[in-house]
């Protein structure tokens, strides 16, 4: 069984509260690293994309596991690249690949500079197409913004725009066993183009469903982690864990 641990929406902002939640979530994963194959972080590493927040995120996200990180709408390519990938052009989208055994993780940058909604730009679509064409074995595609609505009105208004850009690639590639994302701060499972689409809970906070309260953000829920298990046949089983602070 192949195991991916996924964290999302860390929102490093210099506060002890968020730092403690991130440390607890990473400790939960890292202390079980022997049973896990890869760590995936799907964006909103920071609250405001400030250089000092990105430096703190870089310091906090430490793991013995092979780790793949992409960004969300609260991040920015220049501050991420300056800290995490100083060798690349600062404005490059954060499209990154990791192959472990017969599983390839492709994390693509769904952020749209200056906007809250998501979008896969031409560079990113082209990169993903090439990676999918060259991948052997099972593939998991990760990004920040969900390409479908979730029954969460605020989130649904800032989902991934033009989701057919991703959908056309999914249709053409049956080796994609699952798609995973974040952004909604809500552990959730649905489908996209007939494939499983799993959302990791937010580490920093949870967003309420309409019947859970009038406030959008719920800070009382604990941090969460998703574990995606992939069996030999490519069937994906997602488990969620709450991490008490």
Least distance (Å) from Fe ion to the CB of residue 184?
8
**Considering only CA atoms, which of 22, 27, 23, 24 is closest in space to residue 10?**
22
Nearest one of 129, 181, 194, 177 to 150, comparing CA atoms: 181
Residue 73 contacts Fe ion per CB under 5 A: yes
Choose between 18 and 73: whose C-beta lies nearer to Fe ion.
73
Distances (CA, A) of 191 to 74, 155, 181: 25, 17, 12
Contact 41, 7 (CB under 8 A): yes
- Provide the greatest CA pair distance for the chain: 47
Rounded least distance, CB 145 to Fe ion, Å = 7
Place of tokens 């440390």: 23
Q: How far is the CB of 178 from Fe ion (least distance, A)?
A: 20
Q: What is the smallest separation between the CB atom of 74 and Fe ion, expressed in angstroms?
A: 6
Q: Would you count residue 53 as binding Fe ion (CB under 5 A)?
A: no
The stretch among 8-16, 24-32, 107-115, 120-128 that binds Fe ion (CB under 5 A) is 8-16
| Stretch near Fe ion under the rule CB under 5 A, chosen from 37-45, 146-154, 189-197, 234-242 | 37-45
Q: What's the Cα-to-Cα distance from 181 to each of 44, 101, 106, 204, 213, rounded to whole Å?
A: 11, 22, 12, 15, 24
Give whichever of 12 and 36 is closer to Fe ion, judged by the CB atom. Answer: 12
Q: Choose between 71 and 230: whose C-beta lies nearer to Fe ion.
A: 71
In the complex, minimum distance from the CB of residue 56 to Fe ion, in angstroms, rounded to a whole number: 16
Interactions with Fe ion, residue window 165-194 (CB under 5 A) = 183
Task: Let me know: does 46 contact 57? Beta carbons within 8 Å.
Answer: yes
Q: Does 44 bind Fe ion (CB under 5 A)?
A: yes
Contact 149, 191 (CB under 8 A): no
Residue 18 binds to Fe ion (criterion: CB under 5 A): no
- Which lies closer to Fe ion via its Cβ, residue 101 or residue 113? 113
One residue of 2, 7, 9, 238 binding Fe ion per CB under 5 A: 9
Please report how close the Cβ of residue 123 comes to Fe ion at its closest, in angstroms: 20
Structure tokens at 79: 């501050």
Nearer to Fe ion, 138 or 183 (CB): 183
Per CB under 5 A, does 72 bind Fe ion? yes
Of 8, 2, 65, 18, the C-alpha closest to 39 is 65
33 touches 65 (CB < 8 A):
yes
Shortest CB 242 distance to Fe ion, Å: 17
How crowded is residue 108: how many other Cβ atoms within 10 Å of its Cβ?
24
Give contact residues for Fe ion (rule: CB under 5 A): 9, 44, 72-73, 183
């Amino acid at each position: 069984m192949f195991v991916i641990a996924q964290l999302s929406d860390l929102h490093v902002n210099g506060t002890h509260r968020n730092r403690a939640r991130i440390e607890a979530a990473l400790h939960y994963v890292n202390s079980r690293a022997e049973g896990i194959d890869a760590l995936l972080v799907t964006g909103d590493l920071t609250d405001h994309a400030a250089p000092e927040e990105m430096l703190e995120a870089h310091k906090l996200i430490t793991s013995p596991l092979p780790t793949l990180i992409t960004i969300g709408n609260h991040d920015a390519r220049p501050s991420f690249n300056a800290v995490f990938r100083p060798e690349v052009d600062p404005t490059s989208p954060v499209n990154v690949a990791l192959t472990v055994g017969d599983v390839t993780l492709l994390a693509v940058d769904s952020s749209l500079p200056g906007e809250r909604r998501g979008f896969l730009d031409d560079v990113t679509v082209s990169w993903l197409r090439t990676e999918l064409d060259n991948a052997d074995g099972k593939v998991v595609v990760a990004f920040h913004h969900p390409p479908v609505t979730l029954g969460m009105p605020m989130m649904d208004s800032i989902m991934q725009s033009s989701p057919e850009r991703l959908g056309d690639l999914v249709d053409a590639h049956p080796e994609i066993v699952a798609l995973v994302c974040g952004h909604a701060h809500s552990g959730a499972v649905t489908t996209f183009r007939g494939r499983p689409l799993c959302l990791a809970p937010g580490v920093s906070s949870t967003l309420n469903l309409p019947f859970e309260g009038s406030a959008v953000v719920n800070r009382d829920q604990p941090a969460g982690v998703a574990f995606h298990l992939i069996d030999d046949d490519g069937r994906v089983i997602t488990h969620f864990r709450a991490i008490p602070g």
